[in-house]
Structure 1
Amino acid sequence: MTHARFVCCFLLIFPLFRLSAEIPLAAVSTDDARTMLIEAAQKYRGVPYRYGGMSRQGLDCSGLVYLSFRDSFKVEVPRRAEDLYHWTERLEKAAIQPGDLVFFQRDGHIFHVGIYIGDGWFFHSASDGPKTGVMYSRLNESFWSRSYAGAGRALP
């Protein structure tokens, strides 16, 4: 999707949704929207991993993204990591900003998503490894750097 088409679709769809204080998303600055998304996600820190999970009892990676958007903007986004990948605007790694989504692949398929928070860190719900559940990780960690598939922008 070209940037112009993405922005056009975004502006047509997102003003219909409201924040909890009844402020149109279009009225929120980009920086504020990014901060709101990250803060919403961080409220789930420490929640255990659960495949298909969508509650504080357990979350998977796309469930974390879904709930973060819902909690922040009352917006429903695609529920699967691969669908989120296709839904977002592609970004070069150097252009990633806090609040953008980062994606990871295995065997050519997107299997994981996280929310970039800045300085090489992202927030996600990990299902495997020495630690699992909702946590911070670095993009340059061996596993994540090997499986990095790209980044996508969902916010303006």
Structure 2
Amino acid sequence: MAGVHNPASADADQQLLEQAMVRLPDSQNVLAGTANPVQAAELGKLQRALLAHYAEWEGTRYRLGGTGRKGIDCSSFIQTLFKDHFSFELPRSSREQMTMGKAVDQSELQTGDLLFFKTGPTRKHVGVYLGNNQFMHVSARRGVEITKLLTPYWQKHFIEARRISLGLFKPSN
């Protein structure tokens, strides 16, 4: 239930987050080179929120049109992330999500940027950038996962990145 603090739930959430960080060993390095301590703190909070979302959904299988734990598609996964962790409503489809925020060059990616790919003649795919050449998304084969962005497959299919301004970041969880 939202707004109710449950210490047992908080401990479980912390364990899930620590497990996700173990699977993402270089996640600490996302802040390397960030000179501004306020910016570094905000990026740290943002990355923790992203990894918490990953830990909650890890292994959930892909299902076209799916919106829940029994199966979810990429755009619903991203929509749920923004709603649950940032109290921000995104459109349901990746095509509509692609109109949100502002376009950013791939060389300027920051943690939290949305990544869009063309994976079929009319099909768009979306994931969220974690830093260190890694992003999380819902794979048709492996479900919710973290993968490398700079691979031949993802580079070939990359369309654009979008940055959605969340103002002063305040995770809702």
TM-score w.r.t. the length of structure 1 is 0.72
- Is 2:140 the counterpart of 1:144? no
Equivalent residue number for residue 84 of structure 1:
97
C-alpha separation between the residues in 1 aligned to 2:123 and 2:73? 14
Does the Cα contact within 8 Å between 1:41 and 1:65 map onto a contact in 2? no
Correspondence for 2:138 among 101, 114, 125: 125
1:83 alignment partner, SS class: helix
Equivalent residue number for residue 79 of structure 2:
66
Does the Cα contact within 8 Å between 2:50 and 2:130 map onto a contact in 1? no
Give me the identity figure in percent. Answer: 28
Change (3 A) 1:110 1:98: farther
Equivalent residue number for residue 163 of structure 2:
153
How much does 1:37 deviate? 3.7
How much does 1:35 deviate? 3.5
1:87 alignment partner, SS class: coil
C-alpha separation between the residues in 1 aligned to 2:80 and 2:54? 8
Deviation by residue 1:56-101 (Cα, 9 ceiling, x = unmatched): 1111000110111111023221111111111121001111111111
Does the Cα contact within 8 Å between 2:67 and 2:73 map onto a contact in 1? yes
Equivalent residue number for residue 11 of structure 2:
none
Amino acid of the residue matched to residue 65 of structure 2?
G
- Structure 1: runs of 5 or more not aligned: 1-18, 22-28
Amino acid of the residue matched to residue 147 of structure 1?
H
C-alpha separation between the residues in 1 aligned to 2:54 and 2:101? 18
Change (3 A) 1:150 1:56: same
TM-score w.r.t. the length of structure 2 is 0.65
How much does 1:49 deviate? 0.2
Does the Cα contact within 8 Å between 2:47 and 2:130 map onto a contact in 1? no
1:135 alignment partner, SS class: strand
- Structure 2: runs of 5 or more not aligned: 5-40, 167-173
- Is 2:118 the counterpart of 1:105? yes
C-alpha separation between the residues in 2 aligned to 1:20 and 1:108? 43
Q: Greater strand percent: which structure?
A: 1
Max Rg structure: 2
C-alpha separation between the residues in 2 aligned to 1:87 and 1:148? 17
CA RMSD of aligned residues (A): 2.3
Change (3 A) 1:83 1:30: farther
Does the Cα contact within 8 Å between 1:20 and 1:73 map onto a contact in 2? no
Does the Cα contact within 8 Å between 1:122 and 1:137 map onto a contact in 2? yes
How much does 1:108 deviate? 7.2
1:65 alignment partner, SS class: helix
Equivalent residue runs for 1:50-61 within 5 Å: 50-61=63-74
